[in-house]
Amino acid sequence: MAPLTPASPPASLLAALRPDLLRHPPFDGMQQAEVDLFLARAQQRYYAPGETLAEPAAGPVREIFFIRQGAVTGVKGLAEFFGGAFQYEEGELFPLDAAVARRAVTATYRATADTFVLVLPVEAMDELAHRSPEFADFLHRRIARFLDLSRVALQAEYASQALAEQSLETPLGELAARAPVTCAPGTPLRAALAEMQARRIGSIVVAGPAGEALGILTRHDVLERVALAQPPLDTPIAQVMVQPVHTLDVAHTAQDAALLMSRHGIRHVPVTRGGAVVGIVSERDLFAMQRLSLKQVSSAIRAASDVPALRAAAQDIRRFARNLLGQGVQARQLTGLVSHLNDVLTQRLLELLAPDHGVALSRVCWVALGSEGRGEQTIATDQDNALVLPDDSTDAQREAARAFGRAANLALAECGYPLCRGGVMAGEPAGSATLRDWRERFARWIDHGAPQDLLQASIYFDLRPLAGDAALAHALRAEVLESARRTPRFLKQMALNALSRGAPLNWLGGIDTTADGSVDLKLQGAALFVDAARLYSLAHGVDETATRSRLAAVGERLGLAPSEYEAWVGAFEFIQMLRLRIQLEGDGGGDNPNRLAPARLNDIDRRILKEAFRVARSLQQRIHLDYER
């Protein structure tokens, strides 16, 4: 293992080695002088297959390795228990965490092929991190940095579909650049309307002495509150303005404004800084950003008069998601928007069907379960739902509710949401029950649940009220969550269930595919994080449903370094983004829209997918230590 070159390569060798580095992060974003500093302080080494590069017995790490050619596998205790090691390939740097912390590695790293590396002393690593913000950022945010690079590549890939569209991540402070037109509460209505007409604006904000928004009057409001109501034109505007007014801060995004408009059926949102109105964003502003807007799609859904109209609207949801993907919107936001639109569609469908079955929505509660309950629906998502009925429901009312549930399930299937293969639906005999019956069922699952019961419970624990009497769902959720937290046996059974599937990594640490070269990103990827997040949130009293929120909250409760639980979140969201991509592109394998062939990914995405699986396995190792010892 003698060095092949001196510690300071000549200029000719620098020129020869530089292209190798510039093809990989973080070097592709660094200045040439910074890259050359890495090369000048590095040594070249060769390791034959089976030779050790680093091991725990060597003590604190004194150098890091960049793989120019070949591969290195790291093996440590629990990694073997969970089905293998982890592998580093050409273009990767390691062991960064140990080098930054000045500790020994926890794995033994061996070459698995003829391997050529550049070796950098940790003192030089520190010097380079001091000079290069890009390199320093990579040391501390490795998986987050890979995610950033992947998003850039994805946005470029879809740019042709979104050339005229800005990103929904644009801060409102940038979007609402014009100063708002405001008036005092005592301003006569005649003066306010004249100001709107003179300035050709669609709204005027009524502001208090500190600039805070007290109310708003828009052209749309004038018809109802002025033209039809006919108040005297010297009436103070405070008497006809809409209040309270929905506002957002300058730090909120265009996505936040779009969601607010969609949820409340409004067209203008005042933008504040420190509580004072500094701008206003309109529906037209958002229309200018995107050819198909969230408000446009949700309005079409709410106006639908029958199932065929909703079926057409469901196609708009998919087109809208494709547009957002082209804008570089992240997985958390994209799945949140898709879930919101699916909620709106389901709510409208229930409103249309309930009268036909003699069901009063105000007396029952339709609950979303599984990914819909967590607000994490992708495009190819099946149904998981249920009905909660009041305890005084008669037999006839129960039967009517089940028939209503069946009709809704079939109509949703027409709209492109497949029936649940496991039968977790409101129209099934077990999917519609009174609050008392649901409580008893959860009690059985928690106290005496068999493995199959746990699979059911894991879906139902993510319940969220979607339509009807939300108090029924809230009462059920609060009670069963507290019961689960106080039952160690149930938590251990959930832990065993979470460990029933492992991350698809082979004994060398590479991605382990099936015979057709694919992996199931839902069952072998996203579900590993979902199950872990659900388990730990139950155990630690985290009252969240979204996986991202659960992981972050649990990480804080466990006292972990932010970099650790942020890696959980980043890995989960990357897998979610890949699922969305293959579903929108129609690349899923056969009838499974979550199957992906890793060989088809670019170098960055393939590398971070492997990193995401590695993070999932590490999270499962934590579960094993916490619940199986």
Q: What is the structure's pLDDT at 557?
A: 92
Identify the three-state secondary structure at position 132.
coil
Nearest-angstrom CA–CA distance, 365 and 390: 9
Q: What is the pLDDT of residue 138?
A: 81
Report pLDDT for 78.
40
pLDDT of 97 higher than 90: no
Higher pLDDT, 155 or 314: 314
Instruction: Give the tens place of pLDDT for each residue, 419-430.
Output: 988 889 999 998
- pLDDT at 1 exceeding the cut of 80: no
For the stretch 175-225, pLDDT in tens is 776 678 999 999 999 999 999 988 888 899 999 999 999 999 998 889 889
Helix or strand (DSSP H, E) at 67: strand 63-69
Mean pLDDT along residues 320-338: 75
Question: Quick one: pLDDT at residue 315?
Answer: 84
CA 169 to CA 324: how far, in whole Å? Answer: 10
CB contact at 8 A, 579 and 521: yes
Structure-model confidence comparison of residues 584 and 269, the more confident one: 269
Mean pLDDT of 77-84: 43
pLDDT digits (tens, 9 = 90+) for 513-543: 998 899 999 999 999 999 999 999 999 988 8
H-helix or E-strand containing 217? strand 213-218
455: which 2 tokens? 């699979």
Mean pLDDT of 229-234: 92
- Residue 587: band (very low, low, confident or very high) from pLDDT cuts 50, 70, 90: very low
Alpha helices (H) along 26-66: 32-41
pLDDT: which is higher, 308 or 332: 308
Q: Given pLDDT bands bounded at 50, 70 and 90, which one contains residue 66?
A: very high
Reported residue count of the chain is 629
What is the per-residue pLDDT across 375-399, written as a single tens digit (0 to 9) for each?
A: 888 777 789 999 999 999 999 999 9
Decide if pLDDT at 242 tops 70: yes
Would you say 484 and 446 are in contact if contact means Cβ atoms under 8 Å apart? Answer: yes
Q: What is the mean pLDDT of residues 52-80?
A: 84
Q: What is the pLDDT of residue 155?
A: 47
Q: What is the pLDDT of residue 387?
A: 97
pLDDT for position 309:
87
User: Residues 6 or more apart from 3 whose CB is under 8 A from it?
Assistant: 43, 44, 45, 119
Phi, psi of 555 (to 5 degrees): -55, -40
Summary mean pLDDT of the chain: 85
The H or E element spanning position 87 is strand 86-88
What pLDDT is attached to residue 187? 96
Please give the average per-residue pLDDT across 22-47, as a whole number.
90
Backbone φ, ψ for residue 145 (5° rounding): -65, -40
pLDDT at 534: 93
One-letter amino acid of 422: G
Q: Write the secondary structure of 346-371 as one string of H (helix), E (strand) and C (coil).
A: HHHHHHHHCHHHCCCHHHCEEEECHH
- Position 79 scores a pLDDT of 40
User: Is the Cβ–Cβ distance between 303 and 319 less than 8 Å?
Assistant: no
Query: Would you say residue 163 has pLDDT above 60?
Result: no
In this prediction, residue 89 carries a pLDDT of 86
Report the SS3 class of residue 302. Answer: helix
User: What average pLDDT does the segment 105-131 reach?
Assistant: 92
What pLDDT is stored for residue 458 in this prediction? 78
Task: Give the pLDDT band of residue 161 (cuts 50, 70, 90).
Answer: very low
pLDDT tens-digit readout, 254-289? 888 988 888 888 889 999 999 999 999 988 777 656
Please give the model's pTM, rounded to 2 decimal places.
0.63
Strands 268-273 and 248-249: parallel
For residue 409, which phi and psi values (nearest 5 degrees)?
A: -60, -45
pLDDT the model gives residue 326: 63
Phi, psi of 116, rounded to the nearest 5 degrees: -115, 130
Mean pLDDT value across residues 447-468: 80
Cα–Cα distance measured from residue 299 to residue 282, given in angstroms and rounded to the nearest whole number: 15
Is residue 166 predicted with pLDDT exceeding 80?
Answer: no
Q: Given pLDDT bands bounded at 50, 70 and 90, which one contains residue 146?
A: low
